[in-house]
Homo-oligomer: A and B are copies of this chain.
């Protein structure tokens, strides 16, 4: 256990600032908007488990239900029945590690607000990088903020632009001139459903269809789950407006160089999603193949750490000819906000969470693949368990390059001082965790894992190459507090 402690393992949670958004514009009488949005959110639950919310526009009458916890906790018993089957609806699941926010400034989404032109609901995924400047300007003119959420900030800007603009879509387009950073969002106006993706396309967003009704989702897997049809990705920079007259696309902000977050493919997204024409599962398979080619090793078995390491391991096995096996069992009942309330229990979380399948590894040379290493504690614990289970050798392969830099576009990595790759060399880390070898995929190789060449990726957390720079100095200081 001491080794674990050294790495401060307990806090070695994967970065998960991601959120999920899902919207519907209902044109069919036999579809229940609330049921579809709630079902869609279930398929996006992996993107956020801190709070869940649904907002329905029923003939201009907006009703919103949001609460902390996973969906099944947030919408207890018949809470959903209080929501009408409106024509337009949007839902949101949110993740955040910062518990204090709950009591400080509420920031569950969708954010519902009234402004000059009626009501507006916004569900957002991403992070705005020039928010310090935007906050400053808005505060200068007397604005007040009741939460730390980007959604509230964006709402303000839209409301301000709408005064000058002729339509809500024009206001949204003008808002995009002012926003820098990552934003995939769904907006419900009194008569429209609007889907917006930032020009870099940092976060995914796509369009689906069920009968004659339209749906918008963070990931395509939600459409599959509902039996809806995937239509296409929302383009980076695109504003898609769905109203009584159909679907309208505004592409003024399209065409620049894009930079989809590569960590979506590595870790965040569900493997059955296709983001910008790239299957997440195939991407991970390819990563496994590349790792096998670049960092081969004599071994008896290849195993992945669930959930995101598994696809890579299958790819590694296929490319290397070493059999694929299951070595790690993850307790699926633990990933929950409410669990582990007792202090003494919380200390045991990591131990309870992970177990090793002895028959798979005993006496074997094991290749173990994880999606990434943040602080190092989880991997140290796993290598220790594998050795204890009798593994003769443990070769660690990592499906991403070393984390060297923090993220300002929606993935909350710890400050760079806490990233283990900034604190020791790869070989020092290998020794520390007791692995027989340890190899990361390189940034270059990682980029080559996309099947299509359509997509450009943001790899700033690995390369330090920030496509739109870092936020201003002032803001950096407060970033842990005011992001979200």
Taking beta carbons and an 8 Å cutoff, which residues of A are in contact with B? Answer: 1, 32, 35, 38-39, 42-43, 45-46, 62-65, 70-73, 75-83, 100, 103-106, 111-116, 120, 139-146, 152, 155-156, 159-163, 221, 224-227, 270-272, 274, 279, 281-282, 310-311, 314, 317-318, 323-326, 329, 331-334, 336, 338-342, 344-345, 348, 351-352, 355-360
Contact = CB atoms under 8 A, between A and B. Distances in A.
Contacts of A356: 224, 272
A352 to B, nearest CB: 5
Contact of A113 (B83, B145, B227, B342): B145
Kindly list the 4 A-B residue pairs having the minimum CB-CB distance in the complex, ordered from nearest: A142-B160, A72-B339, A116-B139, A113-B144
B144 A226 contact: no
A301 to B, nearest CB: 10
Secondary structure type dominating chain A contacts: mixed
Contact of A103 (B65, B145, B156, B341): B65
B64 A281 contact: no
A144 B114 CA distance: 6
Given A226-B351, A359-B282, A114 B105 contact: yes
B336 A72 contact: yes
B345 A271 contact: no
A60 to B, nearest CB: 12
A290 to B, nearest CB: 17
Given A45-B333, A63-B100, A310-B326, 7 more contacts: A42-B339, A65-B103, A71-B339, A80-B342, A106-B106, A114-B145, A139-B159
Contacts of A332: 332
A35 B342 contact: yes
16 contacts: A43-B331, A70-B333, A76-B338, A76-B341, A106-B106, A113-B145, A113-B146, A114-B145, A115-B139, A115-B143, A142-B163, A144-B159, A221-B355, A224-B355, A272-B329, A314-B324
Contact of A329 (B1, B75, B226, B271): B271
A254 B281 CA distance: 51
B104 A63 contact: yes
Given A139-B116, A143-B115, A156-B144, A348 B39 contact: yes
Contacts of A162: 142
Contacts of A140: 116, 163
B342 A81 contact: yes
B78 A360 contact: no
B331 A45 contact: yes
Contact of A63 (B103, B111, B139, B359): B103
B360 A281 contact: yes
B344 A32 contact: yes
A12 to B, nearest CB: 18
A336 B345 CA distance: 22
A345 B144 contact: no
Contacts of A156: 142, 144
A64 B104 contact: yes
A281 B357 contact: yes
A81 B343 CA distance: 9
A357 B271 contact: yes
Contacts of A144: 113-115, 120, 152, 155-156, 159
A87 to B, nearest CB: 17
A70 B355 CA distance: 20
B341 A78 contact: yes
B72 A333 contact: yes
Contacts of A76: 338, 341
Contacts of A281: 326, 357, 359-360
